[in-house]
Amino acid sequence: MRFMLNRLLPLSFLVFFAIYIDGYSQGEIDKQPKVFFRNERSWSGSLNSNGWGVNYRYSKRLNAFSSIIFDADLASIRHPKEIKSQSPYIGGWGRSYVFGKTNEAFSLRGGTGYQKELFSKFDQGGISVRFFSGGGLSLAILKPIYYLKVTGFNPSTLDLSREKSLFDPDYMQSIYDIYDRESFFMGINETTVVPGFYIRTGLSFEYSSEDRLVHALEGGIQLEGFLKKIPILATEDNHQLFLTLFASYRFGKVIDARFQK
Taking a C-beta distance cutoff of 8 angstroms, is the pair 97, 122 a contact?
no
User: How much is the pTM?
Assistant: 0.81
Higher pLDDT, 121 or 223: 223
Average pLDDT, the chain: 83
Which range is least confidently modeled, 7-21, 112-126, 156-170, 234-248? Answer: 7-21
Confidence of residue 3 (pLDDT cuts 50, 70, 90): very low
Whole-angstrom distance, CA of residue 227 vs CA of residue 92: 38
Q: Which residues, 6+ apart, have CB-to-CB distance to 215 below 8 Å?
A: 206, 207, 208, 250, 251
Average pLDDT (50-59) is 96
**Residue 224 — pLDDT band, cuts 50, 70, 90?**
very high
Which pLDDT score is estimated for 36? 57
CA 168 from chain centre, in angstroms, equals 30
Per-residue pLDDT tens digits for 86-96: 888 887 788 88
Q: What is the pLDDT of residue 96?
A: 87
Q: What is the pLDDT of residues 204-222, one digit of tens each?
A: 999 988 878 899 999 999 9
Residues in a beta bridge with 144: 103
Distances in Å between the Cα of 23 and the Cα atoms of 28, 129, 131, 139 are 11, 14, 20, 42
Highest mean pLDDT among 20-24, 83-87, 122-126, 145-149: 145-149
pLDDT score at 216: 96
What pLDDT was estimated at residue 11?
Answer: 47
Domains, the chain, ordered by start: 2-259 (2.40.160.20)
pLDDT at 100 over 80: yes
| Model pLDDT, residue 26 | 46
Per-residue pLDDT, averaged over 95-108, amounts to 92
Alpha carbon distances (Å) from 134 to 11, 68, 70, 77, 105:
19, 9, 9, 20, 23
Model pLDDT, residue 55? 98
Give the SS3 label for residue 220.
strand
